[in-house]
Amino acid sequence: MNIVAPADPELSSDDRFAGERLKLSPFHPRQAELNIRDAWSAWNGYKFADYYYEATYEYFCIRNTCGTYDICPMQKFLVEGEDALAMLDRMVTRDLTKLRVNRITYCCWCDDTGRMIDDGTIFRLDDNRYMLTCGSPCLAWLAKSALGFDKVTITEHTEQLAGLSLQGPTSFSTLKNMGVGDAVAELKPFGFTRVPFVGTELMISRTGFTGDLGYELWIDAEYALPLWDALYEAGEDYGIQPYGEAATNMARLEAGFIMPYMEFNEAPKTINFEHDQTPLELNLGWLVDFKKPHFNGRRALLEQKQKGTKQLLVKLDIEGNKPAEEAILYDSKGCRNQIGYVTSAMWSPSVKANIALAMIDTKALTGEIWAEIYHYKELRPYRKVAKCKVQDKPFWMPPRARQTPPGEF
């Protein structure tokens, strides 16, 4: 086993606090020009756009034209060597032996008690070469998972590889106008390809976090600005705009995708018992392959499957138009017996519905579900009790999201 961690930068005596400052994405010079509200937050130590102009406007760019979302802060790890597949297959709950070269899979990994560590994607770059991406730093867990595997090298690749998500119905037309349409036309969801670009290689994957047609572009960090410029020139007539975390959260909720620190807590970071979750509780049972002889948490998850989960994450369609943010759920309109809580909620502009993700006691799913919603009107607080209906399918997942080749605009 060989772990290659990022080198610590050398600090001069005049720059003692450099390590405390937020890092800048390779795309930051272009993003700073467009962030007219100067609305920044932080993600994994990077300065990161919450929004550029207005969240709802950026959301409609995703749904009606196309937008770019900076995924440089996403953690990226290269896992290479003869033991790479065996090591990763033991770590994650999904069967990686089925993953072909130039394909990607969504997966999750757990501790020995079956509690979620994180979720992410794994790219099979070659026979013995993989890339894992996830939302939070994971090098320490990868190092623990590699114990006993001598022929594997794990390298953190976050700062070396720039990533830009391009999402929306005109995303394919933009890529075609940029000159890579032939390469991505037959690309199916969770596939990727490589194309030459200004003297280097650009990797394009048909992936995203919006539930719509979209791609993610991966390139060496030093070529980030040429990529941005070429993409924005190609997308000028297709309504291309940058969007931030606020619009991303709206789109991913419509698609029914989970978000760390909203739908689940990472197990190593919780203190209270069962304040973290298992994949089965998060309705991700389809990611857990019990046909595999062994993986982290298998015994605990199998026992939970046999007994049934105490709670389950579900999608809710809620009456009215007041978002049920942080709402408590009850089994009757009288709000006496609490049965769950809302994790994410919004009024969906595209679906024209009041939607939410919620963690609910499994035994209560066959009965009535009511949300106690508090909202403000002209600075005055109001309380409303609204009936909820469980929905099985994503709130938003248009056919174009999977259509191959995609339609042009």
Q: What is the pLDDT along the chain (409 residues), one digit of tens a residue?
A: 777 777 655 555 455 555 679 999 999 999 999 999 999 999 999 999 999 999 999 999 999 999 999 999 999 999 999 999 999 999 999 999 999 999 999 999 999 999 999 999 999 999 999 999 999 999 999 999 999 999 999 999 999 999 999 999 999 999 999 999 999 999 999 999 999 999 999 999 999 999 999 999 999 999 999 999 999 999 999 999 999 999 999 999 999 999 999 999 999 999 998 899 999 999 999 999 999 999 999 999 999 999 999 999 999 999 999 999 999 999 999 999 999 999 999 999 999 999 999 999 999 999 999 999 999 999 999 999 999 999 999 999 999 999 999 998 8
Please state which CATH number belongs to domain 2-74+159-255: 3.30.1360.120
DSSP 188-225: PTTBEEEEEETTEEEEEES--SSSSSEEEEEEEGGGHH
Q: Write the pLDDT tens digit of every residue in 378-394.
A: 999 999 999 999 999 99
- C-alpha dihedral over 100, 103, 104, 109, to 10 degrees? 10
Place of tokens 């700062």: 159
What long-range pairs does 131-135 form, CB within 8 A, spacing at least 24? Answer: 131/76, 131/77, 131/78, 131/79, 131/157, 132/76, 132/77, 132/79, 132/88, 133/74, 133/75, 133/76, 133/77, 133/163, 134/74, 134/75, 135/44, 135/74, 135/75, 135/260
12 Cβ neighbours under 8 A, 6+ residues apart = none
Please state which CATH number belongs to domain 75-156: 3.30.70.1400
Q: Determine the length of the chain.
A: 409
Q: Under CATH, what is the fold of the domain 310-393?
A: Elongation Factor Tu (Ef-tu); domain 3 (2.40.30)
Binding positions: 216
Could you tell me the residue ranges of all domains in the chain?
2-74+159-255, 75-156, 310-393
Cα Rg, the chain, nearest whole Å:
22
Q: Write the pLDDT tens digit of every residue in 161-200.
A: 999 999 999 999 999 999 999 999 999 999 999 999 999 9
Q: Check: CB of residue 92 under 8 Å from CB of residue 122.
A: yes
Whole-number pLDDT of residue 9: 56
CA distances in angstroms from 49 to 186, 242, 244, 348, 404, listed in the order given: 32, 9, 5, 22, 32
Binding positions for substrate: 216
- Do 2-74+159-255 and 310-393 come out as alike in CATH topology? no
